[in-house]
Amino acid sequence: MYIAIAGNIGSGKTTLTEILAARTGSSAYFEDSNNPYIGDFYEDMNRWSFNLQIYFLGKRIRQAADILSRDGSLIQDRTIYEDAYIFADNLHEMGLMSTRDFETYMEIFDLSTGLVRKPDLLIYLRASVPTLISQIQKRGRAYEMSIQADYLERLNAKYRNWIENIYQGEVFTLDIDREDFILDPAVLDPLFARIAALPR
């Protein structure tokens, strides 16, 4: 069983990954939040966007290769698809990544997709910008304090388009504005029922 969790910055992916891994006895794969470019990126997105995204892509390719080599149940915090279709695409659209860099990035991404196993279930954590900002502030990562609301809204629009029009696979959506699984763990009961029905 391979489950991946997708969602915007601050939507709760890491927390849900921990909960699901503990509940199902699965191995957890977390996003690398120690990207050495991330602080520089939030200070100067135009200069560091390509470096940031290539680093994340490299880490995701390594994870994908490891996932392919393993048996058993896996829970992954963020997917390789989001790197390309959400973050890199948004940076290019905003003029913060040059067309040359974006095309180079996408060539590497396209080559890597052959290494990627599609999740048996994608859990999408949908959240409004006020919810995202609140959760970002609560976790208090210094480099995230400068993230602007309009940047998060652009990412949300990218996520909606990706889920509705691009991604081909099983999706379970949690509306984080209404389904706070920290305050009310029972909201996860339908998700656990869906997971229990997955092939092992």
In our burial notation (b when 16+ CB lie closer than 10 A, e otherwise), range 39-57 reads eebbeebeebbbbbbbbbb
State the architecture of 2-196 in CATH terms. 3-Layer(aba) Sandwich (3.40)
pLDDT of residue 106: 96
CA distance 88 to 104: 11
Residue 155 burial (C-beta neighbours within 10 Å; 0-12, 13-18, 19+) = buried
Percent of the chain predicted with pLDDT > 70? 99
Confirm whether pTM is higher than 0.85: yes
Catalytic residues: 77
pLDDT of residue 148: 87
Long-range contacts of 56-61 (CB under 8 A, 24+ apart): 56/32, 56/83, 56/87, 57/83, 57/84, 57/105, 57/108, 57/109, 57/112, 59/32, 59/35, 60/112, 61/112, 61/115
Q: What is the pLDDT of residues 9-35, one digit of tens each?
A: 999 999 999 999 999 999 999 987 788
Q: What is the pLDDT of residues 158-170, one digit of tens each?
A: 999 999 999 999 9
Ranges of the chain with pLDDT below 50:
none
CA distance 42 to 33: 13
Q: What are the boundaries of each domain within the chain?
A: 2-196
